[in-house]
Structures are given as C-alpha cells and as structure tokens.
C-alpha cells in the first residue's frame, strides 16, 4: 500500500513538471542518440569492411613491380608466412568518351584460382575464355556514364586503340574509395576499372608469360611486415622492392581514418550531454525536495523510511533518464540508418546494414541512468537528514547582509529594485548559477566548433582551388614523357598557358616514421600550381631541397632545416636525402614540392614530366578535348571544375549535413539548460512574483525580473562558450585531419554569430514559455504558499 501511494505521487509529480522532464529527457536523448549512432556506425563499417574484405579475399600485402616471369610465383609461395599468393597483370589505359574529356582507366586481369581481390558481379556475366574483346566494368563508373551491358568502349592502352565490349558490371573492395589521378575526392564518372580475361590482359599490356603485381594473404604465425620485407628482396631485381600492406592501400586507409574519427566522436560528445543531464536532474530534484519539505515530514511521520522516500525521488530521476534513453536509442537508429546511405554512396559498399547490436543500447541506457542517479544522489542527502519536526518547518531564509553575499549586495545598491532582485537570486545559488553558465557555454561551444570546422572546409576550397591551383585542367600521361610536350599542348585551341609537372612516388622516412607519398616537381617560378605560405604568398622553390605541405610535415614531425629521406619506388629506386626548406600551407593532399629540374636530376633521368596543367579561355572546349584524345600517350584530363564540384557535394550533401545536426543538438542542449533554470527560478519565486504583482508591478516588469536572471547567466556564458568553442574546434581539427585534407581553423565571426544566435533563440523560447506560465499563475495560491 505504501509503495502504491508513492507511485501515485510519482505520477502526479511527473505530470506537474512535465515540461522540465521533457527538456531533461531531450538532453539525455541527444547524448544517447550520439552514442548509439556513432557506435552503430563504427560497428557497421567495421563489420561490413571485415566481411567484405574476407569474403572477396582482399590482399594483405601488395607488391608492384615492372615484370617478372610466372615461374617466380613458386618462390613467392615458399616465403614463410605466405598463406596464398597470386601474380596479376595491372596497367593503365584511357577511355575515349565521345564528346567529353579522356578518362583514365585501370586495366586488371581477372582474379585467378586463388581468388585474391575477388570481384562482386552486380550485373551481366564474366568474359568467355578466348574472347579478348569482352570485359567487366566498374559498375559505379558505368552508372555515372550511362553505359549499358553490350555497349562497346573505345580504349587506348600503350598507344594502341581497340574496342571492348562490356559484358558485366562489378565492384571490388579494392575500389571502395578511388579518386581519379590528380584529384582529391572520388567522382564516379572520372575513373574506370576494367577487368579482362588474363590472356587478353597479357596481350593488351604486353605481359605474356609474366606478371607485374603480387597479391598475398598471410598466415597469423608471422608478422606481415616480415613477409613484405622478404617479398621486397625477392622482387627487387624485377623492379619491385616497394611493396605495401593492406592498411596503406587507398580504400582501406581512408576507411580506417573514417573509423578513427567516429571513435573519437564517441569519446567526447556523449559525456557532455550526460553530464548536463546529471546537473539538470540535480537542480530539479533539489528544488522539488525543498518545495516538498512538509510532505517529506508527513511521510516520515506516517512511518515511511528515509530510504523509501529517497527511492521515490530517485525513481523520478531514473524515469526521466529512461525516457530520454529510449527516445535517444530510437533517434540514434534513425540517424545511423540515414548516414549509412551517405557511406554507401561515398565508399561504394555493395551493402551496408546499420548494426543494431545490444552493446551501444545497453551502454547508452547504463550511462544515462548512472548520470541520473549521480545527479539525484547529491540532492537526496537532504531527505536522509530531515527529521519530521524539522521538515514541518520552512527552511531558514538566506542571510544577505554578511560575508561574501553581503559584499555583493553592497555592489548592487546603485541598481533599481528589479536589478537587485536579479543579482540577489544569482548570488543566492552560486553553484547552480555556475552550472547553468557552464551548460549554456557547452552548448554554444559545440555548435560554434562545428560551424568553424565547416567554415574551414570552405576556406580549404578557396585556398586550394583559388590560390594554390590556378589552372583549369590537368593533362596526365600514361608514362613520363619529354617536357617538350608542354609547348605542343600550349598551342592547342583555347589553351592560354601550360605548365609541366613531374610526380615521383616515394616512401618518405624520418627515423621510424614512414609515409607513402609523392615528390611533385614544379617549374621555377610556378604560376598555375604553387606552394603557398600561411599568408597565401608563393614560396620560391629551392635549387636543392624540398617544401613540405603542413600536413605532411606534421605527420613526419619535420621542421625547416631538418633532413628527410625519400626512397623512390619506381625506375632506378634511388634514396634521396633532402633538406626541408619550408612548409607550405597546403590543405588538400600531402604534397612535397621540388624544383622540376632538381627533381629530375636527383632521380637520375632526363627532363621528363607526368602531367601538364593548363589555363584555358573558359571551360575546356570540345575542340581541345578532341585534340587531347588524339594523343595516344594522354592518360586522362582532369577538369578542375569537376574536382571542385565533387568536393562541394561532399561538403554540402554528405558530411556537411552534420552542421545542421549539430546545430539542432546545440539548440536542444541550450534550451534544456536555460528552460530548466528559468522554470526552477519561477517555481522557487512564485511567492515573490505574486507579491510584485500585488505591489503594482506590471506583467512586463515581473517578466523582466525573471527573464533578467536568465539573460545575465546567458550573457556571462557567451564569452566562456566562445573560448571553449575555439578550443574544441582546434581539438576536432586535429582529430579529423588526415592525409586527404587538413582541417583549417580560423576565428570565423559569422560562425560565432550563428552559434550565439542559437543560444539566444533557445533563451527567448524559454522566456516565452515562462511568460505563459506566469500568466496562468494563481496569485492567491502563490501568496498562501509557504517559503
């Protein structure tokens, strides 16, 4: 019977504070939603990636080389730690799209008996043995270009043009993330993969009886690095020696970086919301306990123990948290499923089902209930200490005439009556006021940090596509070619300026730190592609030395004046020791710049180039594209406008949508804190507010007294929130920067203003809701209430 009475009271209490309970539950829900969404996405990507890689036997070791006889595969299989190995044929060609720019294509032999780097057929069939003109095409490229089964492609490989018939579409774990050469982000219609029957590929690539790439699966008994070292030594006479592991393969590497970003988000976001919820519950339960001292005394007088009464209020807090956790779990699943669609489009997974394992749900529920329990436990100490006789008396009013509070009261004497009432209430509960300030600052900081990060993306685009790269297109070649071709391209129709480049793949070393990248040779002075300092001024390229991008310098822990080792992984494979002359403010990619003549001299070859950047009169004309298609050594043409559009799509339609999500989250957090603070102040001061109305104050003046307290707390929180937001933005920038891009952080005033407006909007909504509550206030009842 006793518990039945307490449960009835619990229902009445929940209904009475329903608005506050909903606000607190919303804060809990957001924390749990982020936890479930991030954990679910991490599990989803991890499980799908591992299953996809395992099912299609994605190689763990890659060894590119120039040419080796098929008989050498027996020695590869005999290396300790090799589970299975396969030699495949790999090369590059060009698809000549009618009326458009040439598109570079990767040419691969179909997986052999070992099935390494297997393909997933999505339509059509495999080529028939002996039919050298039948191929399987990457399905995302086919969809982007409108290519159907049975269509023929004009393909140029090694200077020979032929027609190939598409008999099947497929995708592979090797090409989940594959930007076109010279571009930073993948665009479906800009890069193709063509799989051919082995004999046909050997004829096209001139590799009859040979292979030029080794794929290996390893056993668990020996480290992969040791297997790679033995493979490098075996293949060095055949142009090898620059192999790499699976985690350095482009698709695998960028998925790993995405997973790292999700894990870091899980670490710092949910605790913020759950800590705020604990604070709000503490304030709410404390107010209820103080308001119900008489009821607590009566319950104790009628035989209820302190534990039973404390359990009643604890149950109130837990029910609010439980409701928030349930709502957050549902929202987390919905948000996670929505984002999986973005991941499927971006990473080209054939399937991606949002994982709903019980772990994230149980963790979100446990942490939210723990936060509620901690928040309520501090407030419930009063319940155990109260005796029935003491509880029946109203609490002693605070003394504002002595000590620190009295000193603050002296400072408020120049203020009018409402002003003194506002500051008195703030100083009466200093810890509660500080908690409100901290919570509002946290909401502002979170939103401001994300807005600054996305403003940094815009800055990255402006610097990369407007200052560093001033070309309109880049022409790439299948193999390094004489620099004289620059003059020929400069005289093609519509070309105003042409500038050569040389890209040399290398393995950078600084002690134990290594990184696979490229040395980029530029003419001096470079006008279309430039290395820039932090002031966006061109950096003169030295006669001997290298200019590193900021991201690469930080990755290798190098500074101007240090020495860097670059092991060339093609041609003669020379080892270069170069001084770091300067650091460039490059935000996309991780280039290392050298003077073109110095680079070609260092690698010991003639003055050869791999691409030419061009500036044109308007967009590249059909005549220009046709002229480039007629050149057999042209591998492809990358139009800068297409690269910009791909980046813009990602920033706006992909990850950029998260700026609106975080804006909504910040509003919920700020509203939950501000509204609860205002509602508690209203409940505690109902007697004062009613007295003011009796004394002749208007509704607007009474509202000013209540709203003024909230406005002062928010005003104090704003500079603190801006400082926290700047610190958090820098923390997020470091966490999410990777080899693909460097997240730029600047003190962006529009971003700060938008974040402040979200907090102010939350405050105004709270004040309007309190005004409605004030209008419904029964002054007679409020004046009869005991303080």
Q: Which residues pair with 121 in a beta bridge?
A: 170
Q: Residue 228's pLDDT is what?
A: 93
Mean pLDDT of the chain: 79
Query: What is the spatial distance between Cα 582 and Cα 561, in angstroms, rounded to a whole number?
Result: 8
Q: Which residues pair with 612 in a beta bridge?
A: 475, 500
- Percent of the chain, pLDDT > 70? 78
pLDDT at residue 780 above 80? no
Buried b (16+ CB within 10 A) or exposed e, 370-380: ebbbbbbbebb
End-to-end CA distance of the chain: 31
Closest to 685 in 3D by CA, of 287, 243, 107, 114: 287
Locate tokens 């997020």: which residue? Answer: 732
Q: Residue 181's pLDDT is what?
A: 65
pLDDT at residue 414 above 60? no
Over range 740-756, report the average pLDDT. Answer: 78
Q: Residue 738's pLDDT is what?
A: 62
Q: Which residues pair with 87 in a beta bridge?
A: 214
Count of residues for the chain? 787
Q: Residue 234's pLDDT is what?
A: 93
| Ramachandran angles phi, psi of 557, nearest 5° | 55, 55
CB 40 within 8 A of CB 32: no
- pLDDT tens digits, residue range 353-368? 777 778 778 877 887 8
How far are the Cα atoms of 111, 174, 195, 252 from residue 249, in angstroms, in the given order? 18, 8, 19, 5
Query: What is the spatial distance between Cα 578 and Cα 581, in angstroms, rounded to a whole number?
Result: 9
| 527 or 130, greater pLDDT | 527
Q: What is the pTM of this model?
A: 0.76
Q: Residue 773's pLDDT is what?
A: 65
Q: How confident is the model at residue 407 (pLDDT cuts 50, 70, 90)?
A: very low
Over range 13-17, report the average pLDDT. Answer: 75
Q: Residue 122's pLDDT is what?
A: 92
Q: Residue 403's pLDDT is what?
A: 44
The conformation of residue 469, written as its DSSP 8-state character, comes to B
pLDDT at residue 404 above 60? no
Assign 479 to helix, strand or coil: strand
List the domain boundaries for the chain: 1-59+255-395, 90-206, 429-468+644-787, 473-618
Q: Residue 445's pLDDT is what?
A: 82
């Amino acid at each position: 019977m006793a518990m039945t009475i307490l449960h009835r009271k619990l229902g009445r209490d929940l209904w009475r504070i329903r608005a506050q309970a909903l606000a607190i539950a919303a804060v809990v829900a957001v924390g749990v939603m982020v936890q479930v969404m991030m954990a679910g996405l991490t599990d989803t990507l991890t499980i799908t990636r591992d299953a996809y890689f395992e099912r299609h036997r994605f190689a763990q070791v890659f060894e590119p080389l120039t040419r080796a006889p098929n008989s050498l595969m027996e020695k590869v299989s005999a290396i300790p730690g090799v589970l299975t190995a396969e030699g495949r044929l790999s090369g590059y060609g060009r698809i000549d799209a009618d009326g458009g720019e040439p598109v570079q294509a990767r040419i691969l032999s179909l997986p052999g008996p070992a099935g390494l780097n297997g393909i997933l057929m999505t339509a059509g069939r495999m080529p028939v043995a002996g039919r050298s003109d039948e191929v399987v095409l990457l399905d995302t490229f086919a969809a982007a270009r409108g290519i159907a089964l049975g269509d023929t492609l004009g393909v140029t490989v090694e200077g020979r043009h032929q027609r190939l018939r598409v008999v099947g579409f497929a995708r592979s774990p090797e090409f989940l993330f594959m930007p076109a050469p010279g571009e930073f982000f993948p665009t479906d219609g800009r890069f193709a993969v063509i799989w051919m029957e082995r004999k046909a590929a050997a004829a096209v690539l001139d590799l009859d009886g040979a292979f030029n790439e080794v794929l290996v699966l390893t056993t668990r008994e020996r480290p992969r690095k040791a297997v790679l070292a033995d493979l490098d030594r075996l293949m060095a006479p055949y142009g090898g020696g620059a192999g790499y592991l699976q985690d350095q393969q482009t698709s695998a590497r960028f998925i790993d970086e995405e997973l790292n970003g999700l894990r870091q988000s899980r670490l710092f976001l949910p605790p913020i919301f759950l800590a705020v919820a604990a604070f709000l519950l503490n304030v709410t339960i404390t107010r209820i306990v103080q308001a119900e001292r008489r009821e607590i005394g009566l319950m104790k007088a009628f035989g209820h123990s302190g534990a039973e009464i404390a359990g009643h209020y604890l149950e109130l807090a837990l029910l609010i948290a439980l409701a928030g956790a349930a709502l957050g779990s549902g929202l987390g699943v919905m948000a996670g499923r929505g984002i999986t669609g973005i991941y499927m489009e971006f990473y080209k997974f054939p399937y991606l089902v949002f994982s709903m394992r019980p772990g994230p749900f149980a963790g979100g529920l446990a942490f939210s209930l723990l936060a509620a329990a901690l928040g309520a436990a501090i407030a419930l100490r009063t319940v155990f200490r109260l005796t029935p006789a003491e509880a029946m008396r109203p609490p002693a009013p605070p003394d504002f005439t002595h000590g620190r509070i009295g000193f603050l009261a002296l400072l408020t004497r120049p203020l009018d009556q409402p002003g003194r009432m506002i500051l008195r209430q703030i100083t009466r509960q200093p810890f509660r006021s500080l908690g409100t300030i901290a919570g509002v600052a946290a909401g502002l900081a979170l939103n401001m940090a994300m807005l600054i990060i996305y403003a940094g993306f815009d800055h990255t685009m402006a610097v990369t596509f407007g200052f560093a790269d001033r070309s309109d297109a880049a022409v790439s070649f299948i193999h390094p070619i004489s620099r004289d071709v620059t003059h020929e391209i400069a005289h093609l129709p519509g070309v105003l300026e042409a500038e050569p480049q040389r890209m040399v793949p290398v393995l950078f070393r600084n002690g134990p730190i290594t990184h696979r990248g490229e040395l980029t040779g530029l003419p001096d002075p470079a006008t279309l592609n430039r290395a820039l300092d932090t002031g966006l001024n061109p950096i003169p390229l030295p006669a001997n030395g290298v200019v590193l991008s900021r991201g690469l310098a930080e990755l290798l822990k190098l500074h101007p004046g240090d020495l860097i080792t670059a092991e060339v992984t093609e041609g003669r494979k020379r080892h270069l020791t170069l001084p770091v002359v300067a650091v460039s403010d490059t935000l996309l990619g991780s280039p290392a710049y050298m003077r073109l003549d110095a680079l070609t001299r260092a690698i010991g070859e003639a003055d050869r180039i791999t691409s030419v950047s061009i500036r044109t009169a308007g967009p590249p004309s059909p005549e220009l594209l046709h002229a480039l298609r007629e050149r057999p050594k042209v591998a492809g043409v990358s139009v800068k406008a297409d690269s910009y559009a791909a980046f813009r799509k990602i920033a706006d339609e992909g990850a950029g949508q998260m700026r609106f999500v975080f804006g909504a989250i910040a509003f919920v957090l700020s509203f939950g804190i501000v509204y609860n603070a205002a509602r508690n102040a209203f409940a505690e001061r109902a007697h004062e507010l009613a007295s003011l109305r009796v004394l002749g104050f208007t509704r607007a003046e009474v509202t000013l007294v209540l709203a003024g307290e909230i406005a002062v707390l928010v005003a104090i929180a704003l500079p603190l929130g801006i400082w926290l937001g700047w610190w958090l933005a820098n923390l997020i920038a470091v966490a999410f920067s990777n080899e693909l891009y460097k997240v730029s952080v600047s003190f962006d005033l529009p971003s700060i203003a938008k974040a402040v407006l979200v907090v102010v909007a939350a405050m105004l909504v709270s004040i309007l809701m309190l005004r409605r509550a004030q209008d419904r206030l029964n002054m007679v009842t409020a004046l009869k209430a005991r303080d």
